[in-house]
Structure 1
């Protein structure tokens, strides 16, 4: 009877451990690895914007990315325009620290290696000004990735119980329309169809859990397993905006991107070592059986305001302020397929602000030089930060170049360097191990795009 009670207690404890692992895992897949924008936001849908450190996004004059950044600014394009952008994001990061098990003993393992690798982020947009009876109306469509990226630690690193692989992919298909109301004001709106796919994994220290219940032959790190989660969903959102041109020199723009809700549906797959599986099978414990789960997710709303001032025909400057409503992500709640709640992990995130200043100078009729700098806040903090999101405030520095190959074809290139304030972590894993240390790193972004006007 005593052993049955111990196993029953062990089952409850491990159920809590497993559910926390899943919740942390889903959280991590959605937030890890975004060094180019805080949280898990991706702004790289325009190489022109990249060269200006994301300044001028809602008033861009010759940039088809406004289909999703601010539909109202599509009226700036007077010819059918097709644009393809590709940005490669290269994260370099390193962890310095250590971990201890639930028993206070050291966790063996390395520093995880470099969790980032060069990742390509493509975008495609087309803008079509209409004529005749529809004069003043412009329509457009775009495909882009507004959220997500991938990071992967070594499977045997000291923080494996917190995170190994985290991979989020979102793809947006946006259809927009803009109307020029008069010579000063234009308005626009768009419908967003978003696909979200998540893959993640982290380790589980079955040895520590079984040892805590007094099962002979087990100790921390003696029976490592793993949980992997995959899920996907489609969601609908919208974007609307306006642009006001005071005169030929001064323009203002504003856009609002809505929240997009997802109910991620997928499976939890457990890898349980034979020694631990034998104990579970002997007592009919099914806590670690594979099965279907789902998790509601809300991608945040984003507000962006821009201003552009043309000092003369060759030199112009832009500034942006962007507010991202990360506080809408209060927590990640995990459910069984039958709707039974099985876990919760709080985000404790805050809304963030991004400030950017950039400029362009036309060296000649064929060459344009760009540069910019921006400051970007992190939604997380020292109390809530985990290795799933080794994120902190950062500064972004950019340069870019535009080449008008002909009246129809333009090629743009840009480079951005991101310097991140070193984030520290002091956090417990789902296996009750404690990870303490500090990350340091930076990111380099390289972009190239082609724009063709018919």
Structure 2
């Protein structure tokens, strides 16, 4: 049974809450989402903390809210079309090729909504509220694919409610702001479990050549799913400096948010295994699963320069501090199954440059380019996160339907570098090996409406 104990520790760990930290889709650093503003998307998210007329500053830089007058409401929806297909193969514990296909299209088409509101009082105080999704999305593979022992479905959802306030220290030149963030996080992770490899590992070496089919690697596939959720609190602060009518500089910082994810693990054990000694062990019984998750802090510098009343150039430089994700400790109901997964992620940088051109009173055009780093490396990359450094190419426009109502549209094409996968699992943990690469790209389609009164 010692082999079963050792293997189960890694099995539970690999499909546990740890996976929630490695399932961001390849369009954003780690599992980060930037899609809370269609206007900003049209500029490849350049100038997110200074651009006038975009209520997403409630969460991006509260200090910039003072540029509004009266009350403004904005609704954004971005449809994320992720395309990611695996090319490769692998081997089981005894060197046979892993069976199964390429997993099909691992990506999905997912809408990401956001809604924000800003109101400015006569005394200069400005308040705002925003609902957005700063982290999440999912990957999902076809049943029985070649990498099934590493990932099946990986889904993380976060929803933020941000309440912010801002005040002008020097009217028209310097403002400060801050807000509190309430964040709800939900995770679902699943994978196939090679119970045949577990049984095979318990046999004495002399008996392994004659082991029955169900007690050999890939001979008794089961399944396991972990679900968990939690809420956490954080904060955001910002400064907006406008030395003259042409230049604006913004600085904002979003804090880390700690989560104690609480949920369950659900095992599906094959009949041939359930009727044997493994079926009786509590290591494969449904039960509790707990883990700590910390979403990273983000520091952003935004700049806008207006050459004239028609043309503006904008830029963003952001650092996401993934050092909060050095390891994840999983706590299962059976204390013998607790384990630690090491990630060793570090700070990533996002750099973007964009432009706006006011064509006439009705139309404003946008375009932008960005470069976004990944926190993953070849040594830690898994099918849950086929992530690599990527380039963004964006265009967008705003149509002023009336003095109170406007509509914005944007399209972004994201081209990642080709992610490489190379996983060698120790024999005591199943012995599988998976090698290959991903052919991936992302399309973002955004639409928003803003009403001012």
Tell me the TM-score normalized by structure 2: 0.95
Asked whether the equivalents of residues 127 and 140 of structure 1 are also in contact (C-alpha less than 8 Å), the reply is yes
Partner residue of 2:310 out of 302, 308, 314: 314
Partner residue of 1:74 out of 43, 65, 81: 65
Give the superposition deviation at 1:317.
Answer: 0.7
1:452 alignment counterpart: 451
Give the superposition deviation at 1:13.
Answer: 3.0
380-389 or 40-49, larger mean C-alpha shift = 380-389
Give the superposition deviation at 1:428.
Answer: 3.3
Matched, 1:143 2:111: no
Partner residue of 2:163 out of 175, 187, 191: 175
2:78 alignment counterpart: 87
Asked whether the equivalents of residues 30 and 198 of structure 1 are also in contact (C-alpha less than 8 Å), the reply is no
Q: Which aligned pairs between 1:35-50 and structure 2 lie closer than 5 A?
A: 35-50=26-41
2:295 alignment counterpart: 299
2:154 alignment counterpart: 166
SS at 1:275's partner residue? Answer: helix
Q: Residues 289, 339 of structure 1: CA spacing in aligned structure 2 closer, same or farther, 3 A cutoff?
A: closer
2:247 alignment counterpart: 250
Asked whether the equivalents of residues 204 and 431 of structure 1 are also in contact (C-alpha less than 8 Å), the reply is no
SS at 1:361's partner residue? Answer: strand
Where does structure 2 lack aligned partners over 5 or more consecutive residues? none
Asked whether the equivalents of residues 31 and 148 of structure 1 are also in contact (C-alpha less than 8 Å), the reply is no
SS at 1:14's partner residue? Answer: helix
Partner residue of 1:209 out of 178, 198, 201: 198
2:387 alignment counterpart: 391
- Aligned partners of 2:5 and 2:288: how far apart in 1? 20
SS at 1:181's partner residue? Answer: strand
Q: Residues 325-373 of structure 1, C-alpha deviation per residue, up to 9 Å, x if partnerless?
A: 0111011110135877701111121210010000000110110000000
Where does structure 1 lack aligned partners over 5 or more consecutive residues? 1-7
Give the superposition deviation at 1:432.
Answer: 2.5
2:11 alignment counterpart: 18
Matched, 1:110 2:110: no
- Aligned partners of 1:280 and 1:21: how far apart in 2? 23
**Alignment RMSD (CA, Å):** 1.4
- Aligned partners of 2:247 and 2:284: how far apart in 1? 62
- Aligned partners of 2:416 and 2:278: how far apart in 1? 47
- Aligned partners of 2:98 and 2:335: how far apart in 1? 36
Matched, 1:61 2:49: no
- Aligned partners of 2:421 and 2:21: how far apart in 1? 18
Give the superposition deviation at 1:32.
Answer: 1.6
Tell me the TM-score normalized by structure 1: 0.95
Partner residue of 1:100 out of 91, 96, 100: 91
2:272 alignment counterpart: 275
- Aligned partners of 1:79 and 1:103: how far apart in 2? 70
Give the superposition deviation at 1:11.
Answer: 3.0
Partner residue of 2:142 out of 154, 178, 181: 154
Matched, 1:9 2:5: no
Asked whether the equivalents of residues 12 and 337 of structure 2 are also in contact (C-alpha less than 8 Å), the reply is no
Matched, 1:239 2:236: yes
Partner residue of 2:43 out of 45, 49, 52: 52
Matched, 1:436 2:435: yes
Asked whether the equivalents of residues 83 and 440 of structure 2 are also in contact (C-alpha less than 8 Å), the reply is yes
